[in-house]
Structure 1
Amino acid sequence: MSAVVLVGALLQVAVGFGLGLLAAPVLAFVEPSLVPVVLLVLAFGVTAAVLVLDGTHLDLRGTGWALVGRVPGTVVGAALVAVLPAKALALLVVLVVVVGVVASLRGFAPRPTRPAVVVAGAVSGLMGTATSIGGPPMAMVWQRFAGPRLRSTMSAFFLVGSVMSFAALALSGSVDPHDLRYAVFLAPAAALGVVLARPVGRRLDIRRTRIIAMALALTGAAVLSVRQFW
C-alpha cells in the first residue's frame, strides 16, 4: 500500500492525476473499508503541496465554478457510501476506473465552458466522495490547460473538494478511526512521492507515463473485480 501511494502521489504532482486512480483499486483489494476516506485524507496533503509549488498558475474562476458543481455531487456520493456495502463500493471503484481510463484513451475533450465545468465538478464530486477517484472528469474538461495550470487548478479543486467530501462522509457516519490510522501510516509514503515528483517528473515522458499509469489502474481494477466475484 505504501508503494502504490508513493507512486500515485508522485504521478499526482508530476502529471496532475494518479493518486486515486492508481491507489484506490489496491486499497480496496486489501481492505474495502479504507476507500474512500484514507485516500481523501492523503489527497488533501498532496494537493496542498502542488498548490505550494504551482499556485501562481491557478485558474481561480474555473475552480470556483467546478466547486459549485462539486457540492451536490458530494452529497450524493456520501449517501452512496452510507447505504452501499463494502463489496458494492469496491465494484463501483472498478467501474469508475474503467470508465475514466476508456474516456481518457478515446480522447474525449469537451470544451471548458462554464456549464461543462459545473457538470464535471458534480460528477467528480460524486465519484470522488464515493470512490476517491474524482480526477477523470476534471482532467477531461481541463486537458487543454498547460502543465502547471492544469496541476494547480485541479489541485485547488481537489483540496477544497476533499475537505467537502470528508466532511460529508463524517456527517453521514462513514468515517472510522481505523481509516484515520491508516492515513497516518501511509502519509510518509505520500510525502516521499511529493518530494520525488519534481526530479523524477523532469525525466518523464508525460504521454507515455499517463498510458502506463492508466494500464496499472486497469490491472488493479481487474484484480479487484476478480477478488469480489470469487
Structure 2
Amino acid sequence: MTLTGYLIIAGVLTLSACLQASIGFGMAMLAAPVVAVVDPSLVPGTLIIQAGLLTLFVTVAERRHIDLRGTGWALVGRVPGTVAGALLVAALPPRGLALMLSGVVLLGVVLTCFGWTPRPHRPTLVLAGSASGLLGTATSIGGPPMALVWQGKDAPVLRGTMSGFFLIGSVLSVVTLAPTGAMGPHTLLTSLLLAPAPALGYVLSRYVNRFLDARRLRWAAIGVSTLGAVLLIGAQLA
C-alpha cells in the first residue's frame, strides 16, 4: 500500500469510527466502499478488526446501558450467520464481494430512508443477528440489520447494546475467517498500522457529540455511504 493509500484509509476510518461511536453504527457503511477501492484485500478482514477495536472502547464506556437480554438473543442468530458469511468469502471472487458489499450498503440506505422499524422481539432479534453475522463476516457491514431492530432505543442504550453485540460478533468473524485465508499477514500488519485510526475516531466522538446531533450525523453517513457504494459499483463494472 502506498503512503497516499494509507492516509486515505486512515482518514476514512477515523471519520467513520467517530460516526459509529456517536450513533452506534455506520463505520463499515462509510468506510468499506472507500477501502475496497483503495485496497480490496483489506475487505473484510482489516475492517472487522478495526471495528472490533472501536466497539471495545464504546462497550467499556457504555457498559451500564447494554441490553443484555436483547444482545443474547441476537448472538444466537449471529453464530450460524457468521459461518455462512465465511463460506461466502471463500466462494466469491473479490469482484463479487465488492458488488455484494455495495448492494448491502444501498439496501441499508433504502431501508433507513423509508423508516422501517421492526420491533425487537425474540424472533426478530435472532433473524437480525443471523443477517448481521452473514453480512458482517462477508462484507464487514453488519450494522444495518441490528440498527433497524434497535433504532428505537435511547442513544446510550443503542451505542452500548450495538457495540457489545458487534464486539463479540467481530471476534467470531475473525475466528471464522482465519481458515479461509482472509486474515493473512498483510491483513494483520495493516490492521496494526491502522489501529490509531479507530482510537482517534473514538476520542473525536466525545467532542463531536457536544456540538452535532446524531440525526445530522446519521444522514451525513447515509449520503456518503450512498456515494461510496455507487463509486465502487462503477469501478467494478468499468
Q: TM-score, normalised by structure 1?
A: 0.98
What is residue 14 of structure 2 aligned with on the other side? 6
What is residue 188 of structure 2 aligned with on the other side? 180
What is residue 105 of structure 2 aligned with on the other side? 97
Q: Report the Cα distance in structure 2 between the residues aligned to 1:44 and 1:211, rounded to whole angstroms.
A: 24
Identity among equivalent positions (%) equals: 54
- Tell me whether 1:75 sits opposite 2:83 in the alignment: yes
Write the deviation string for residues 94-119 of structure 1: whole angstroms up to 9, x where unpaired.
00000011101110100110000000
Q: Write the letter of the residue equivalent to 2:25.
A: F
What is residue 61 of structure 1 aligned with on the other side? 69
The structure 2 residue matched to 1:16, chosen from 20, 24, 29, is: 24
Q: Write the letter of the residue equivalent to 2:166.
A: F
Runs of 4+ in structure 1 off by over 2 angstroms are 171-174
Gapped regions of structure 1 (runs ≥ 5): none
CA contact (8 A) 1:32 1:89 kept: no
Q: Report the Cα distance in structure 2 between the residues aligned to 1:202 and 1:42, rounded to whole angstroms.
A: 24
Q: Write the letter of the residue equivalent to 1:180.
A: L
- Tell me whether 1:136 sits opposite 2:148 in the alignment: no
Q: Report the Cα distance in structure 1 between the residues aligned to 2:223 and 2:70, rounded to whole angstroms.
A: 29
What is residue 158 of structure 1 aligned with on the other side? 166
Write the deviation string for residues 165-192 of structure 1: whole angstroms up to 9, x where unpaired.
1100002332211111111121111111
Q: Write the letter of the residue equivalent to 2:209.
A: G
Query: What is the aligned-residue RMSD (CA, Å)?
Result: 0.8
- Tell me whether 1:125 sits opposite 2:109 in the alignment: no
Query: Superposed, which structure 2 residues align to 1:167-206 within 5 Å?
Result: 167-206=175-214
Q: Report the Cα distance in structure 1 between the residues aligned to 2:193 and 2:101, rounded to whole angstroms.
A: 22
What SS class does the counterpart of residue 195 from structure 2 fall into?
Answer: helix
Q: Report the Cα distance in structure 2 between the residues aligned to 1:102 and 1:202, rounded to whole angstroms.
A: 29
Q: Report the Cα distance in structure 2 between the residues aligned to 1:157 and 1:46, rounded to whole angstroms.
A: 12
How many residues were matched structurally? 230
Write the deviation string for residues 49-107 of structure 1: whole angstroms up to 9, x where unpaired.
00111110010011000000001100000000011111110111100000011101110
Q: Report the Cα distance in structure 2 between the residues aligned to 1:52 and 1:164, rounded to whole angstroms.
A: 19
Q: Report the Cα distance in structure 2 between the residues aligned to 1:21 and 1:158, rounded to whole angstroms.
A: 14
Q: Write the letter of the residue equivalent to 1:88.
A: G
The structure 2 residue matched to 1:27, chosen from 4, 26, 35, is: 35
The structure 2 residue matched to 1:52, chosen from 31, 38, 60, is: 60
What is residue 96 of structure 2 aligned with on the other side? 88
Q: Report the Cα distance in structure 2 between the residues aligned to 1:138 and 1:160, rounded to whole angstroms.
A: 14
Q: Report the Cα distance in structure 2 between the residues aligned to 1:31 and 1:174, rounded to whole angstroms.
A: 13
More deviation in 174-183 or 68-77? 174-183
CA contact (8 A) 1:69 1:125 kept: yes
